[in-house]
Structure formats: C-alpha cells, structure tokens
Amino acid sequence: MPPAADPDLQPEVLHDTVLGWYADHARDLAWRRPGASAWGVVVSEFMLQQTPVARVLPVWETWMERWPTPADLAAEPSGEAVRAWGRLGYPRRALRLHAAATAVVEEHGGAVPSSYAELIALPGVGDYTAAAVASFAFGQRHVVLDTNVRRVHARVLGGVEFPAAAPTRAERDRAAALLPDDEAEAATWAVAVMELGALVCTARAPACERCPVADLCRWRAAGYPAYDGPPRKVQDYAGTDRQCRGRLLAVLRDSEGPVHRSRLDAAWHLDDQRERCLASLLADGLVVATGPATYALP
C-alpha cells in the first residue's frame, strides 16, 4: 500500500517540491526563454489549445519568423494566417489570433497589453489565455487553469483521477489559495504545475514513480480510485465534419488563388456532408466565395 498523504499538507511543501522539480526538468521551449516576446507567448497560447507541443513548435517558429510582432500579422489578410496555420487543427484559432493582433495594433499601439482586464478584452482571448499571458509574459500572479493543471490539482489535492468537465468555483478557490504570495514565484508555479501535468501526471499513463509529489498525492494514497464521473469525451476524427472541413481547407490552403468547386468536390466523397462543411466554413469566415463556383481563403 502507498503511504498515506498528509491531510494537512502545507502549500509551502508543494511549492518547494514542484518548483525544485521544474528547475531541473522544464523543457527548453522557445516561448519560455528569457528573450521571448509577449507576442510570442500569445501566439504559443493560441496554438497550444488542444494541440501538443511537438506539433506546435515548428509552426510557432515559422510564424514568429514571418510575423514577429502583432503589427506584422495585422498587416496581412486573415487568410494568410489560416494558410500558415497549416495542419494544427481548429483553424478558427488562426482567425482569432489575427483579430487579436489587429486589436493590439488598433487599441494598444502594437504592444501586447500586460493587464488581465485588457488581455481578456482581446478577440479570442478567454480567462485561461488572459491569465496565462499575464503570468508567463509579464510575471504576474494569476490562477492559470489548463487541463494539465486541473488534473494535477484533482489528483494531488482532491484525491480523484480527473477533474470535472469544466472548472468549478471550488476548484478555482482551491487553486487561488495555493498560489504563492510572491508574483514571480506564482508565475513560475503556474507553469511548473502545468509542466508536471504534461510530462508526469498525464491523463492516460501517469508516471507516479517519477512524480516529485507522489508521497503527497491523495489520489495515490487512496489507491488510485477510478474516475466515476460523467463519461469523458473521446475525440473521434475519421469521417467527422472536422476531418471533412480540414480536407476542404487543405485544398484552399495549398492553392495560390481561388479554387473551382470541382476541386472541393473531389476532396470529399459524401455530398451532403461536404455541403454542410463548406457552408460552416463560409459561416465561420474561414472561406469566402469569390464567384458563382469559386472559393478562396479570406
């Protein structure tokens, strides 16, 4: 049997242990380096939503070479952002990032704002992204709750395998109470817990033997009880509208100019699904009609 976790665990114990582990095991990611710009952090946060680091890295590097500032991106059509987004998936993020860059130029003189309130007012920026940019780019003290952080908190502090489908008030309060008082340390804590969830306390195969807080983990102490909440979503891809939309976008992305409808018809064999997905791409602003039977990126 694993040792019992301390029910009265002091936050300082977790802070020292996790921050020490992070100092030794943090990945060398370009957007975390001292010279990384706030814009680089913004781009990384948009790209990392539902996308693994390994897929993001090459796209982020190419993106930052082409558009090193918000003004560089805002000066080009939004369709170029969609084209450069490539196969990262969820391409509406590219449109939102372009819109955010435009807002930064028009409302903040081209400089990414540092306050949470100004960040969350940008197009496509929600609570998590605003808190993450304020923390990681500007060293501020905010609750940063991504999937990895929530899973670590659920296991170590809550004694359950997975958190609820969406953050609860109790979960936010617990995370807030756990934040170090010092701003810089709180910002590092946020990324350290995220890294622990990404590298060790993973969803499918947690490496408890390598976890720095294994002896403090309530889920481990309870004998790893299986998740008993509502069924967790399993993301299928083959044959879905998402795959169909991706096929249609790939045709446009790989073309220099407008594409005739016949080329889109050839990209997906099911007529009804293709029609539905093309209509949704048009509604989302990812595709524009340039003629009676031709389409292009915006």
User: What are the residue numbers of the active site?
Assistant: 45
Q: Nearest 5 degrees, angle CA 229-CA 46-CA 124?
A: 90
Paired tokens of 163: 């958190």
> Is-contact 210 198, C-beta < 8 A?
no
Paired tokens of 223: 């004998």
Strand order from edge to edge, sheet including 294-296 = 259-260, 294-296, 288-291
Cα gap 296→36, rounded to integer Å: 34
Strands 294-296 and 288-291 turn out to be antiparallel
Residue 122: closest CA among 104, 98, 140: 104
* Max Cα–Cα distance, the chain, nearest Å: 70
